[in-house]
Amino acid sequence: MATTSYTFPSTLDMNELPIVRFKLNTPPLRCIIEAILPELLNNFENASVEVVQCPDLTQPPFNLTSEGLCGDENVFDIGDVTNLIPSFKRDKLYNVKDLKRITGSDPLFIIGACAGPYPFFGADSECVENVKITGDRVENGTHVHMTKSDDVPECFHKSLPDDEMRFSMMANFFTSNGFKGEVLKIVCEVRKGPLSYSTCIKEALVKHFGNEIIALGGVILIENGKVKVHVIKPSLAKIPIKSDKELGNLLHFIELSPPSVGVGCIVSHDPGLNLRLQHFHLYTDRNQGGHYYNDTEPETIKYTGYFGVSKQFTKID
């Protein structure tokens, strides 16, 4: 693991950073079904969308810290790519516990994709955020994925102690009370078009809702078919990074075998805030995971997603 003498910055307080909050018009779930199904069927051989009771997400294969996705739903976009390009901003260190005060939710269930707590490991990593905060009690089931060296694209897994709730540079989180309730179930099988599962859902929402922001967050189960992910290399990224291509040189690309599970968010429209409109991080019970791109076995791929529809959208920093 990379070690160097480095003065680690203190954690930023998200309550003191610039915050933009939107109350969102949440269309009835059946309107979203009618809106997206035709577009899903343009990209996948088989697709279905329905309203169901959320399965118990504390159970396998999800093993999350809360049962459901309902109650006080929020989608957050924190930081952005300017924290990585032209150089990694090590002072962009945040703590999810700040979301307790920002949302006022109790219990607060936080899932999504972010960069790991750099100072904790002394290396960069991918994080599957999975935290439940009830009063002052924290249950931290976050998964961290890292690679062993810059040369070998081999992934390994780390857990975090309950009190290590920091993350770095950028995040896309869905928060809720984690209560049981109705969610959208979106199943897509056999990909015939170019779009990934999450991009296809986003594009379908854009086509129907235009500039109206629809924000979804939740879980994806990939039962069949391999998918392509990236996991950042462990070396300290101190060199200037001039482009997305150069950023790509800092990443290992890995194929994940099924089954895998993902958490993250989809936002249909960016009103000029430099948002990341879809972002999912995957995990498995085999120490593998990473940032989701698309499947590499379109003829056998099967995605099953469960999503809450957010009543608010919040951009921080």
Residues that bind Zn ion (CB under 5 A): 113, 291
The DSSP secondary-structure symbol of 54 reads P
Cβ 183 to Zn ion shortest distance, Å: 23
Closer Cβ to Zn ion, 269 or 291, answer by number: 291
- Proportion of the chain in helix, strand, coil states, percent, rounded to 5: 15, 40, 40
The structure tokens 């999450």 sit at: 198
Between CA 70 and CA 55 the distance in angstroms is 12
Distances (CA, A) of 222 to 112, 157, 219: 16, 19, 10
Sequence-ordered list of residues with C-beta below 8 angstroms from that of 216, at least 6 positions apart, any chain: 75, 174, 184, 201, 205, 265, 266, 267, 307, 308, 309, 310
Cβ 251 to Zn ion shortest distance, Å: 10
Strand-strand pairing, 289-295 and 278-283: antiparallel
- Identify whether the C-beta of residue 228 lies closer than 8 Å to the C-beta of residue 77: no
Cβ 153 to Zn ion shortest distance, Å: 16
Cβ 283 to Zn ion shortest distance, Å: 12
Distances (CA, A) of 80 to 11, 43, 231, 263, 288: 17, 29, 18, 18, 25
- Identify whether the C-beta of residue 147 lies closer than 8 Å to the C-beta of residue 234: yes
Closer Cβ to Zn ion, 66 or 278, answer by number: 278
Cβ 181 to Zn ion shortest distance, Å: 27
Closer Cβ to Zn ion, 143 or 291, answer by number: 291
Cβ 140 to Zn ion shortest distance, Å: 19
Closer Cβ to Zn ion, 113 or 201, answer by number: 113
Residue nearest to Zn ion (CB): 291
Closer Cβ to Zn ion, 12 or 263, answer by number: 263
Cβ 278 to Zn ion shortest distance, Å: 10
Between CA 155 and CA 288 the distance in angstroms is 6
Closer Cβ to Zn ion, 24 or 114, answer by number: 114
Closest to 14 measured CA to CA, from 86, 74, 101: 101
Closer Cβ to Zn ion, 90 or 291, answer by number: 291
